[in-house]
Amino acid sequence: MLAKQWFPVGRVDQVTARPRQVVLLNLRLAVYRMAEGVRIARDMCPHRGLPLSSGRIEGEQLVCAYHGLRFGAAGQCVEVPEKLAPKTAKCFSLTMFPAEERHGLVWTCLMPQGEPRIPHIASSFGASDTLDEANHAAEIQLQIEHWLSLAKFGFMEPELTTDPGYLSSLQSLAMNEYQRLLDAMNI
Ligand code: FES
């Protein structure tokens, strides 16, 4: 169920062209920035399963650090080094996840459905939407907590939403995951 929830995986100002690994719901993700925006891929090269977060960005391509496969912005393999022939680029593509930048954070969802369900975090972010850490950390935590307490987890089966015990354990699992991610960002 939580795989359908949106979670923050980095602060906007910390996500750069240098790929970073973030663990979300026990899944390793590589988070990096390209010219057209943030990209989030499963942190596993389709060639030998090694982490893409060890790779680098060159132009508009993510280059795997191990044998040099190159992936475009949409996760498609665009070049296979000659030494790996006869594999063709078509054999390889990344599992990609959506990325949304809001409230100074980068958000993603492992099983997106429809519009992003991102907690509303009020106002005191400037027009640039960057994060003033000291002032807003507590506010973010409080507002996520408040949002979770109101969330009806609309993606759940109706019979589950009427079970208060199930709903409350889901909310506390979600809160723990939010807290763990925010801690990792020093928020
Ligand atoms: S593991 Fe990535 S290119 Fe081989």
Domain boundaries, the chain: 2-44+95-184
The reported pLDDT for the residue numbered 127 is 41
The mean pLDDT value of the chain amounts to 86
d(CA 18, CA 20): 6
Give the helix ranges, DSSP H, for the chain.
Answer: 133-150, 158-161, 164-184
Q: Which atom of ligand 1 is nearest to the CA of 52?
A: 2
Q: Is the CB of 50 under 6 A from ligand 1?
A: yes
DSSP string, 139-158: HHHHHHHHHHHH---TTS-H
Q: Is the CB of 18 under 6 A from ligand 1?
A: no
Q: Which atom of ligand 1 is nearest to the CA of 69?
A: 3
Per-residue model confidence as pLDDT tens digits over 65-112: 999 999 999 999 999 998 887 778 788 999 999 999 998 899 999 999
Look at the pTM and tell me if it is higher than 0.75.
Answer: yes
> From the CB of residue 172, how many other CB atoms can be counted at a distance below 10 Å?
11
101 CA → ligand 1 middle, Å: 29
With contact defined as beta carbons under 8 Å apart, do 18 and 31 qualify? no
With contact defined as beta carbons under 8 Å apart, do 117 and 6 qualify? yes
- Domain 2-44+95-184 maps to which CATH number in 3.20.20.370, 3.10.129.10, 2.20.25.680, 1.10.1370.30? 2.20.25.680
Specify the amino acid at residue 43. D
